[in-house]
Amino acid sequence: MMRNIKVIGFDADDTLWVNEPYFKDTEMRFRELLSPYMDGEAASAELFRTEMQNMPLYGYGVKAFILSVLETAIRISSKKISPEVIEQLIQIGKEQLMRPVELLDGVEETLNALVGRYRLILVTKGDLLDQEQKLRRSGLEHLFHHVEIMSDKTEKEYKQLLNHIDVRPEEFLMIGNSVRSDILPPLALGCHAIHVPFHITWEHELVDESPSHTQFHTVDSLWDIIPLLP
């Protein structure tokens, strides 16, 4: 089935390196700081609501997230939040941006086993500067032929990517942890896709059912893609 594959696209966040747990850490610190005004679960729900409202304006990434954290803090404290707490929240965001890149198990081995046999590309969304810096810190940059940082991962963006790299859908395999962003859009275009689930998934990325499709596989860890490829 996969004998036509020429290009493999890898998602980055929570596929190659740890990401969502860092957002959860920031959210827990936000909940603690806002605990005088609202209980934790409710504060998280308010934060998620703000994020979804801001998504069309801010897009994805840590900076967008922190702006939503600040907006939510002001709202749920009825503007009583102190400048000192605002400062702390800004600092927590900066710390999240500067966290070291923690590669997931088997990432280097898998990429090294595939480079040279396929054209490897990185396909991610979020903040351009942040993603570029993470890639540099990851030590993986030299393994990728092309890096695509999209504002969103919908069919339209994947179609543009395929045109740009001049590859037919059946020659492209996408690998990632999000069914919504990494799997469903490429499958809809006729590409192949492999889902590598991560233990935490952001609420926004959750979908109800996993696809059943002849060009779709699920594996437990990244290394398990190797036996699936010719």
Q: Give Cα separations from 84 to 33, 89, 183 (angstroms).
A: 11, 9, 43
13 interacts with Mg ion by CB under 5 A: yes
CB of 200 to Mg ion, least distance (A): 11
171 interacts with Mg ion by CB under 5 A: no
177 interacts with Mg ion by CB under 5 A: yes
Q: What is the distance between the alpha carbons of residues 219 and 111, in angstroms, rounded to a whole number?
A: 16
Q: What is the distance between the alpha carbons of residues 92 and 74, in angstroms, rounded to a whole number?
A: 16
127 interacts with Mg ion by CB under 5 A: no
CB of 210 to Mg ion, least distance (A): 16
Phi, psi values for residue 146, rounded to 5°: -155, 145
14 interacts with Mg ion by CB under 5 A: yes
Q: Give Cα separations from 156 to 37, 92, 215 (angstroms).
A: 42, 34, 19
CB of 43 to Mg ion, least distance (A): 25
CB of 73 to Mg ion, least distance (A): 27
**Residue 154, Cβ neighbours under 10 Å: how many?**
15
148 interacts with Mg ion by CB under 5 A: no
Q: Give Cα separations from 46 to 36, 38, 71, 78 (angstroms).
A: 15, 10, 10, 13
- Residue number with CB closer to Mg ion (27 or 182): 182
Single-letter amino acid, residue 1? M
Which structure tokens are listed for 112?
Answer: 């090294």
- Residue number with CB closer to Mg ion (34 or 104): 104
Taking CB atoms, the residue at the shortest distance from Mg ion is 13
110 interacts with Mg ion by CB under 5 A: no
CB of 105 to Mg ion, least distance (A): 16
Number of residues that bind Mg ion (CB under 5 A): 5
11 interacts with Mg ion by CB under 5 A: yes
Residues in the site for Mg ion, rule: CB under 5 A?
Answer: 11, 13-14, 177-178
